[in-house]
Each structure stands twice: as structure tokens, then as C-alpha cells.
Amino acid sequence: MVGARREPALVLLEGPRVIAEAAACGVRLEVVATREGVEPPSVTADRVVRLSDRAFAAASQTVTPQGVLAVARRPEATVADALAAARAAGWPLIVLDGLQDPGNVGAICRTAAAVGAPALVVLEGGADPYGAKAVRASAGNVFRLIVGCGAWEDLQGVHGYGASPAGGLPLDLADLGSAGLLALGGEVRGLRNPGLEAVSIPMAAGVESLNVAAAAAVLLYEVRRRLAV
């Protein structure tokens, strides 16, 4: 996966909000590190250390670090785990097919958590959902989801919809609530599974497409609305 550089099951968390959210979700914090002059957050961690300004800057991956970071341990789920969780909750499984922008991956995780979706799968060639930038973009809400990583081969026999900028079934006619999965394709290549039924969001004339994170928000809130009826 693009950007998959962390040690197995380790996640870098930056900023007090993300760290607090991870802790609230039951994530084990192995180390919390603060920059000199910054008080540690009120969370439980195996170790709390204080770093010099230089050491903290070297450890941080943000342009304007907030003075606190943590290393957390997060067991990774399988595609089967994510699919089982989605089915148990009556939700289509959210599938991200080759999304390479970690900001978009994180934003979609944040929306998925907000609408109450239980699970999400990131397919090969996509940004790491537990990479530091994706976790920040999710505001830590990625930890509210069961996130599996795999390939289309892991989803054989699961039918559903794939978001398409145009030419698909209009959103109001698509039976999203009973779909097995809802897939969003990468920013450049789009969906790599031709077997999905395309669904499109109506747009004004002359507008080619929505950003994938914006499209995901529209689709997921529509699923939520239908499931609540």
C-alpha cells in the first residue's frame, strides 16, 4: 500500500484531539511524547516522555506540530472481519479502491464514523488508513471503524455499487441500503472492478465530478437516511 511505512500494528498519532479520540476508542497508547513546555494530555499510556524541541521536530510529521504525539498499537482487521461487521449492522461495506491521497482516505473514514457505518476496506494501491496524515484527516475517527486491507479477490461474490462521475444509475434509483458494498475509486484510475453497478450523483451541467471525499459524504448520508426510514 502507498505510504505503508509504519512498524506492524503501530500508529503515529499527532495532536491532543487525535490522541484523545484514539484513547476514547480503547486504543492502547504505548508512548506519549511532549515537546518541552507542553503538558501531556490526560490519557493513559505505557510511557510518557518529554522531548527537546529538536527531537520533537524530528519525530513529528506535521508542518506546525501541536507539541504532543503518541505511538499506539492497533490490531489490523481482515477484509472478512470488516465484511462481517458491515453485514451484522445492515450496512453496505465501504470499499476504497486505490485512493492514494491519505487526506481523502482519512476524510472518508471520518464521514463513515459520523454516519454510523461500522466498517471500511482499503484495497491494494491505496493510502494507508493508519498513516499519520490519514489519521489526522480522520480526526482519530478511523479508530471507530473496523478497517480491513486487501484486494478485490477478497470480496468475490459480494455485489454492490461503484460510484461513477456520470452515466451510472441515478442516486435516487439505486438500492444502496441493501447493497453488499459501496465502492469509491482512486482519483486517477477510478474503480478497478468492472462488475459493479455504477451509481452517479446528479450534478449541474458543466460540472464533471465531485472530490471523492465529497462524493462519499453524499452517498453515505443517503445510505444513512434510507436505513433510518
Q: Which residues, in sequence order, are bridge partners of residue 29?
A: 72
Mean pLDDT computed over every residue of the chain: 91
Q: What is the pLDDT of residue 1?
A: 43
Q: Which residues of 36-73 are buried (b: 16+ CB within 10 A; e: fewer)?
A: eebebbebebeeeeebeeeebeeebeeeebbbbbbbbe
Q: What would the pLDDT profile of 75-100 be if each residue is shown by its tens digit? A: 679 999 999 999 999 999 999 999 99
Q: What is the pLDDT of residue 4?
A: 43
Residue 5 banded pLDDT, cuts 50, 70, 90: very low
pTM greater than 0.95 (yes/no): no
For the chain, which residues make up each domain, given as ranges? 10-73, 79-228
For the domain made up of 79-228, give the CATH fold.
Alpha/beta knot (3.40.1280)
Q: What would the pLDDT profile of 156-192 be if each residue is shown by its tens digit? A: 999 999 999 989 999 999 999 899 999 999 877 889 9
Residue 44 per-residue DSSP state = -
Q: What is the pLDDT of residue 229?
A: 55
Greatest mean pLDDT among 26-30, 79-83, 130-134, 172-176 lies in: 79-83
Give the Cα separation of 33 and 69 in Å (integer).
5
User: For the residues 23-45, what does the mean pLDDT come to?
Assistant: 92
For the domain made up of 10-73, give the CATH fold.
60s Ribosomal Protein L30; Chain: A; (3.30.1330)
Going from the C-alpha of 192 to that of each of 150, 156, 168, the distances in angstroms are: 13, 13, 15
